[in-house]
Structure 1
Amino acid sequence: MAAPIDKLFLEICNKFGIVLTLKQKQAITGLFNFKDVFVGTKTGSGKSMTYECAPILFDNGTTLIIAPLTSIMKEQVDRLKGLGYKAIHIGTEEDDIHGIRNGHYHFVFGSPELLVGNEMWRDVIKSSSFQNNHRLTVVDEAHTVVQWGHGSAQESPFREWFAHIGELRSLSLNVPVLALTATASPTNRKKIMKSLCFKKDSIVILDNPDRQNIKITVITIPNNEDDEKLFHWLIKGTHGEYRAREHVP
Structure 2
Amino acid sequence: MAMMDIDWTLRRVFGKKTFRGCQREIIEKVLEGRDVFVLLPTGHGKSLTYQLPAVCADHGTTVVVSPLIALMHNQVDFLVSRSVNAVCLNGQTPSDERQRILKDLTCGHPKTRLIYVTPELCATETFRRHLAIVYAQFELNRFVIDEAHCCVEWGHDFRRDYRLLSYFKEQFPRVPVMALTATATEKVQRAIVRILRLPSPPQLAVFTTSVNRPNLHYEVRYFLDHDPDSLYDDLAGFLGPYYDRLRRKHGTAEYDALAAGRDGCGIVYCRQRATCEQVAERLQQGGFGARAFHAGLAAAVKDDVMRKWVVGSKGYEIVVATTAFGMGVDKPDVRFVVHWDLPKTIEGFYQESGRAGRDNKACRVILFYSRYDRDRVRYLRDLKRQDRDVSASQGGEQTSFSSLVAYCENDSQCRHRMLAAYFDRPAGVRAVPAPDFCARACDVCKDRADVRRRKQALADEPEDY
- Tell me the TM-score normalised to structure 2 length: 0.44
Match of 1:172 in 2: 172
Pair 106,212 (structure 1): closer, same or farther in 2 beyond 3 Å: same
- The 8 Å contact of residues 66 and 140 in structure 1, kept in 2 or not, is answered as yes
Match of 1:80 in 2: 79
Match 1:123 to one of 120, 126, 129? 129
Separation of aligned partners in 2, 1:14 and 1:158: 36
Q: State the identity %.
A: 27
- The 8 Å contact of residues 131 and 172 in structure 1, kept in 2 or not, is answered as no
Pair 68,20 (structure 1): closer, same or farther in 2 beyond 3 Å: same
Per-residue CA deviation, residues 206-233 of structure 1 (Å, 9 max, x unaligned), is 1111232456678999x8x9x9xx99x9
Match of 1:111 in 2: 118
Pair 17,119 (structure 1): closer, same or farther in 2 beyond 3 Å: same
| Structure 1 gaps, min length 5 | none
Per-residue CA deviation, residues 173-204 of structure 1 (Å, 9 max, x unaligned), is 11111111111111101111111111231111
Secondary structure (helix, strand or coil) at the match of 2:211 reads coil
Q: CA RMSD in A?
A: 3.3
| Structure 2 gaps, min length 5 | 245-285, 289-465
Match of 2:104 in 1: 99
Q: Which amino acid aligns with 2:115?
A: V
Separation of aligned partners in 2, 1:14 and 1:211: 26
Match 1:7 to one of 4, 27, 43? 4
- The 8 Å contact of residues 137 and 175 in structure 1, kept in 2 or not, is answered as yes
Match of 2:141 in 1: 135
Separation of aligned partners in 2, 1:217 and 1:242: 15
Separation of aligned partners in 2, 1:235 and 1:53: 40
Pair 124,220 (structure 1): closer, same or farther in 2 beyond 3 Å: closer
Match of 1:17 in 2: 15
Match of 2:186 in 1: 186
Check if 1:162 corresponds to 2:162: yes
Q: Which amino acid aligns with 1:105?
A: T
- The 8 Å contact of residues 63 and 106 in structure 1, kept in 2 or not, is answered as yes
Secondary structure (helix, strand or coil) at the match of 1:114 reads helix
Per-residue CA deviation, residues 125-179 of structure 1 (Å, 9 max, x unaligned), is 0115665211111011111111xxx279xxxx96311111111122321111111
Pair 158,84 (structure 1): closer, same or farther in 2 beyond 3 Å: same
- Tell me the TM-score normalised to structure 1 length: 0.79
Pair 187,237 (structure 1): closer, same or farther in 2 beyond 3 Å: same
- The 8 Å contact of residues 134 and 140 in structure 2, kept in 1 or not, is answered as no
Greater RCO (CA < 8 Å, at least 6 residues apart): 1
Residue 79 of structure 1: CA displacement? 1.2
* Equivalenced residues, count: 230
Check if 1:38 corresponds to 2:37: yes
